[in-house]
Amino acid sequence: MEPGVTALVVDLRGKVFPAVGAAPARQALGSVRFSVRTGERVAIVGPSGCGKTTLLNIVAGLDDDFEGRIRRPDPPIGYVFQEPRLLPWRTVADNLRFVLGPVPDAEARIARALAEVELPDAAPVYASRLSLGMARRVALARAIVVRPSLVLLDEPFVSLDQPTSERLRLLVLDLLERHGITTLLVTHDLREATMLAERILVLSAAPGRLLGEIAVALGSPARRDAATVEAEHARLRAAARALAAEAAELST
Ligand SMILES: Nc1ncnc2c1ncn2[C@@H]1O[C@H](COP(=O)(O)OP(=O)(O)OP(=O)(O)O)[C@@H](O)[C@H]1O
Ligand SMILES: [Mg+2]
């Protein structure tokens, strides 16, 4: 993978969930067009229900019922779902083995991936026995163990207590930076996006369409400094509000 080369092109014109029984058809997304370069970390922010998970499913290739076109990097793509979705009655190691398939160095790669998410002793533990924070880390290990060309992260820090989510954010930042992993992160939390991403795409309320994008002006060390992140967050919040206000004006 060559850094700086376009890795992903999303040219989505719209997504409608068809009517099922008494439930009417639902427009889930409008126009969303952007690209991501190899090694870049991009966040998508937008309010609950605006179509963020739907968009990631389309990017991942799990949903091909949409208007538009997606150009993906070569597989594999790692996907950390909004819910960890581990196989509960399998061990942690089995959950990773399952996505890795029969590669000769599987055991070493599994051990390395678990060490990277700071769970070096979790291999024999049944997935049903993990706390949510641990399950999230295993889901992350499962996404990186395949050496993905692109990682998709869907709200990976929600429903965790404050210290746990903060620690996990730092862990994810370290991991993504260390390996230069091309990343598309979805979150409703602009502060989180500020800390982790180099560029932020702002979606409208449902049906989500791209309002615009904002560059994050933080170097790598600054991302670990809470006060600096907070100051940049405040600046970006104003920029995101301006985008939303501008869009509201255009539509009236
Ligand atoms: N399979 C489906 N069939 C019909 N409607 C769906 C389906 N999946 C999602 N939707 C609807 O599409 C819209 C977007 O849902 P989606 O889960 O993508 O939002 P989201 O931005 O990820 O929300 P959240 O922030 O709460 O995770 C919602 O109105 C949702 O009810
Ligand atoms: Mg979602």
Residues 111 and 173 in one domain: no
> Hey, whose CA ends up nearest to atom 25 of ligand 1?
48
At 159, which CATH number?
3.40.50.300
| pLDDT tens column, 69-125 | 999 999 999 999 999 899 999 999 999 999 999 999 999 999 999 999 999 999 999
Neighbours of ion ligand 2 (CB under 5 A): 52-53
Residues 52 and 19 in one domain: yes
Question: Measured in angstroms, how far is the CA atom of residue 98 from the centroid of ligand 1?
Answer: 28
pLDDT at site 1: 60
Q: List ligand 1's pocket residues with C-beta within 6 A.
A: 17, 26, 28, 46, 48-54, 82, 188, 206
Residue where a domain terminates, one of 114, 130, 148: 148
Instruction: List per-block mean pLDDT (blocks of 10 residues) for the chain, which spans 252 residues.
Output: 86 97 96 98 96 98 98 96 94 97 95 97 97 95 97 94 93 96 96 98 96 97 97 97 86 68
Q: Which domain holds residue 177?
A: 6-75+150-250
Q: Distance between CA 199 and CA 185 in Å, rounded?
A: 10
pLDDT at site 111: 98
Residues 161 and 204 in one domain: yes
Q: Distance between CA 57 and CA 80 in Å, rounded?
A: 11
Residues 127 and 163 in one domain: no
**Residues sharing a CB contact under 8 Å with residue 211, sequence separation 6 or more, in sequence order:** 202, 203, 204, 243, 244, 246, 247
Q: Distance between CA 1 and CA 7 in Å, rounded?
A: 9
> Hey, whose CA ends up nearest to atom 7 of ligand 1?
17
Coil, strand or helix: which one is 158?
coil
In the DSSP assignment, the letter for residue 126 is B
pTM of the model: 0.95
pLDDT at site 250: 75
The total domain count for the chain is 2
Residues 155 and 217 in one domain: yes
Q: Distance between CA 145 and CA 132 in Å, rounded?
A: 20
Q: CA 28: distance to chain centroid?
A: 19
- Tokens 């970390």 belong to residue: 41
E strands of 24-132, at which residues?
26-29, 32-37, 41-45, 67-71, 77-80
